[in-house]
Amino acid sequence: MHGDLANSAMNKLGAEDRAMHGWYRFVLSFPPHLVDEYMERFKMDSGKRLLDPFCGTGTTLVQAKKRGIPSVGIEANPMASFASRVKIDWRPDPLALKIHSRRIYETVSEVFKSSGISDEPVISLLADDSPAVLRTLDPEQEKLLLKNSISALPLHKALVLVDHIRKENHAEFFAHEMLALAKALVNSCSNLRFGPEVGVGAIREDAAVLRLWQDEVAVMVNDLSHFKEFAHVPADVYNADARQLKDLLEPRSIDAVITSPPYPNEKDYTRTTRLELVLLGFVKSKAELQTLKKNMIRSNTRSVYKEDDDDQWIAKNERIQEIADKIEKRRIELGKTSGFERLYARVAKLYFGGMFRHLRDMRTVLRPGARLAYVVGDQASYLRVMIRTGEILGDMARSLGYEVIGIDLFRTRLATATREQLREEVVVLRWPG
Among candidates 163, 161, 167, 168, which has minimal Cα distance to 214?
Answer: 161
Q: Work out the percent of the chain whose per-residue pLDDT is above 90.
A: 82
Among candidates 68, 115, 65, which has minimal Cα distance to 86?
Answer: 65
Where is average pLDDT lowest: 16-25, 33-42, 90-99?
16-25
* Phi, psi of 373, deg, nearest 5: -130, 120
Cα gap 427→386, rounded to integer Å: 18
**pLDDT of residue 3 exceeding 90:** no
CB contact at 8 A, 217 and 194:
no
Fold (topology level) of 9-90+232-265+300-431: Rossmann fold (3.40.50)
Whether the ω angle into residue 70 lies within 30 degrees of 0, i.e. cis, is no
318-342 pLDDT tens trace: 999 999 999 999 999 999 999 999 9
Work out whether the CA dihedral 72, 76, 82, 83 comes out positive or negative. Answer: negative
Alpha-carbon Rg for the chain in angstroms: 23
Q: Residue 29: what pLDDT?
A: 77
**pLDDT of residue 126 exceeding 50:** no
Say how many C-beta atoms besides its own lie within 10 A of residue 45's C-beta: 12
The DSSP bridge partners found for residue 200 are 192
Domain spans of the chain, in order of start: 9-90+232-265+300-431, 94-226
Rounded to the nearest integer, the mean pLDDT of the chain is: 91
Residues 217-236, mean pLDDT to the nearest whole number: 95
Instruction: Using DSSP, state whether 47 is helix, strand or coil.
Output: coil
**pLDDT of residue 195 exceeding 60:** yes
User: 419: pLDDT confidence band, cut at 50, 70 and 90?
Assistant: low
DSSP H/E element including 406: strand 403-414
Number of helices (H), then strands (E), in the chain = 16, 9
Residues 355-380, mean pLDDT to the nearest whole number: 96
**pLDDT of residue 124 exceeding 60:** no
Residues 75-88, mean pLDDT to the nearest whole number: 97
Cα gap 28→57, rounded to integer Å: 11
275-298 pLDDT tens trace: 999 999 999 999 999 999 999 999
What residue type is 381 in one-letter code?
S
